[in-house]
């Protein structure tokens, strides 16, 4: 797995700076000097939102769309020209990206629903045989839908698609082609729905509400204004005016990769998911994913199906699942859980092993996690000091020190080294910082 193979955007909301052509509700436009003008910051109610096979999100309104979280509006038929060839109402009812790994023929295709028709695109090209009647592909699902969103197995009971019509939600099982209908009267009428970073959002007006895809439960204070999260607008913004730092200012406090391949970097009070490049890379408060941990972390490592967070003299252990859950009885003291005293600067565990390598100052201490009480080894002097984070993966080990990092092939070579290798600099290609 490539650890940091894509540009990482540290912004909590990406900038949209250009005024752009747009239409308002159902294609009704505001005309100025012969041009159709709009700005997402005016508070648009989107008709549909869906990512393509590369993870680029499309926001649809009338006969226009926006590509990604920034950029000007453009005509939908410039990218999906057949939508106009077969349909002239000027807007998409619903859209979603299919998740069906068991059938590569339609996996990652983007589906559009317009009145009673369904269109299937891959690489922005309409598939042969489309458009079709909605019921040809999704028997039992009604026409004239309001919104749709994919729900992979593990987040739903099976690979599914949620179709919204008013307060009714039709859950379509892709494998069995059966439909179960629920009424979620507590949710607003969703004009579009979006799965992003394993969370589900119902968009209504210029607001959104996050919900659980199986129960429909809403946790937290909603609705929230989309302009604070899915675009950047004057007078709006999430994260207290957060700015992308210079690469020389980046300080990684912890970094880890779990058994599912989810890789996280922790910097101050925020974390970033590094592996989900198809959904983009964004920074969030640590409390969003691990609500019990506040004010940053000292070290994080993964072992089996658990994620260990160390803050001060406390250890928090979370059960890995779709979302992390604190194991009952935690946090526990560092002494009780790992047999250590003092503070921890960094920690990492290599996949398939039961040993966590803990760094305290210039010493690395190996702890066997398969024994209770823990078997704690002697401290081994390291060639480096001030290490703040470490990660072990198929490509070896990376240890971070300020805005520099060092690579080693194995923990043994790190422990045996007496001279530090040439430091490497964190770059914009790694973490989206400013060079």
pLDDT in the model for residue 15: 30
212 and 264 assigned to the same domain: no
Decide: 277 and 8 in contact? Cβ < 8 Å: no
Decide: 158 and 175 in contact? Cβ < 8 Å: yes
State which residues form the domain around 378: 247-431
131 and 268 assigned to the same domain: no
Which of 177, 195, 228 is at the close of a domain? 228
Provide the Cα torsion 110, 111, 112, 114; round to 10°: 170
* Conformation bin of residue 50: beta by default, left when phi > 0, alpha when psi is -120 to 50: beta
Is 72 part of a structural domain of the chain? yes
164 and 268 assigned to the same domain: no
329 and 180 assigned to the same domain: no
Which candidate, 373, 159, 392, places its Cα nearest to that of 255?
Answer: 392
pLDDT in the model for residue 399: 97
251 and 192 assigned to the same domain: no
pLDDT in the model for residue 350: 96
**Residues whose CB falls within 8 Å of the CB of residue 289, separated by 6 or more in sequence, listed in order:** 271, 323, 324
* Conformation bin of residue 141: beta by default, left when phi > 0, alpha when psi is -120 to 50: beta
pLDDT in the model for residue 259: 83
93 and 220 assigned to the same domain: yes
Is 412 part of a structural domain of the chain? yes
Structural domain count of the chain: 2
pLDDT in the model for residue 31: 38
pLDDT in the model for residue 97: 95
252 and 203 assigned to the same domain: no
CATH assignment at residue 159: 2.110.10.10
| Lowest-pLDDT range of 180-184, 258-262, 298-302, 319-323 | 319-323
Mean pLDDT of the chain: 85
316 and 369 assigned to the same domain: yes
Is 19 part of a structural domain of the chain? no
193 and 322 assigned to the same domain: no
The more confidently predicted of residues 420 and 313 is 313
270 and 406 assigned to the same domain: yes
The more confidently predicted of residues 327 and 248 is 327
300 and 369 assigned to the same domain: yes
Is 15 part of a structural domain of the chain? no
pLDDT tens digits along 78-108? 888 877 665 554 589 999 999 987 887 889 9
Percent of the chain having pLDDT more than 90? 60
pLDDT tens digits along 26-71? 333 333 333 344 678 788 899 999 998 888 899 999 888 988 877 7
As a whole number, mean pLDDT of residues 202-219 equals 95
As a whole number, mean pLDDT of residues 217-236 equals 85
* Cα–Cα distance for residue pair 403/433, rounded to 1 Å: 11
Is 10 part of a structural domain of the chain? no
Is 242 part of a structural domain of the chain? no
């Amino acid at each position: 797995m490539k650890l940091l193979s894509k540009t990482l955007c540290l912004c909590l909301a990406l900038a949209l700076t250009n005024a752009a052509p747009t239409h308002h509700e159902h294609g009704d436009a505001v005309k100025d000097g012969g041009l159709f003008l709009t700005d997402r910051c005016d508070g648009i109610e989107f008709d549909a939102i869906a990512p393509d096979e590369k993870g680029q999100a499309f926001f649809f309104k009338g006969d226009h769309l926006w590509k990604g979280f920034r950029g000007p509006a453009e005509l939908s038929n410039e990218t999906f020209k057949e939508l106009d060839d077969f349909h002239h109402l000027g807007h998409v009812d619903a859209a979603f990206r299919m998740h069906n790994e068991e059938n590569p023929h339609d996996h990652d295709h983007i589906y559009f629903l317009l009145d009673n028709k369904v269109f299937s695109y891959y690489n922005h090209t309409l598939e042969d045989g489309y458009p079709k009647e909605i019921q040809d592909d999704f028997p039992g699902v009604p026409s004239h839908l309001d919104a749709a969103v994919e729900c992979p197995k593990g987040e739903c009971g099976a690979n599914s698609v949620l179709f919204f019509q008013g307060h009714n939600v039709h859950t379509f099982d892709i494998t069995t082609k059966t439909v179960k209908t629920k009424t979620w009267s507590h949710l607003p009428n969703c004009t579009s729905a979006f799965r992003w970073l394993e969370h589900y959002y119902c968009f209504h007006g210029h607001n959104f509400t996050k919900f659980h895809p199986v129960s429909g439960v809403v946790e937290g204070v909603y609705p929230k204004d989309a302009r604070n999260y899915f675009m950047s607008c004057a007078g709006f913004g999430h994260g207290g005016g957060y700015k992308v730092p210079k690469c020389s200012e980046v300080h990684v406090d912890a970094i880890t990769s779990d058994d599912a391949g989810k890789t996280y970097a922790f910097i101050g009070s925020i974390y970033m998911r590094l592996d989900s490049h198809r959904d983009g890379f964004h920074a969030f408060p640590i409390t969003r994913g691990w609500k019990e941990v506040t004010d940053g972390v000292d070290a994080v490592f993964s072992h089996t199906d658990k994620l260990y967070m160390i803050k001060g003299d406390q250890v928090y252990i979370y059960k890995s699942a779709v979302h992390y859950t604190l194991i009952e009885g935690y946090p526990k003291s560092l002494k009780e859980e790992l047999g250590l005293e003092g503070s921890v600067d960094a920690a990492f565990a290599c996949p398939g092993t039961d040993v966590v390598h803990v760094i305290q100052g210039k010493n690395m201490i190996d702890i066997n996690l398969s024994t209770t009480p823990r078997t704690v080894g002697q401290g081994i002097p390291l060639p480096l000091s001030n290490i703040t984070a470490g990660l072990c993966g198929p490509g070896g080990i990376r240890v971070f020190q300020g805005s520099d990092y060092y690579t080693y092939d194995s923990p043994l070579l790190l422990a045996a080294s007496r001279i530090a290798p040439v430091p490497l600099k964190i770059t914009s290609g790694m973490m989206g910082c400013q060079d």
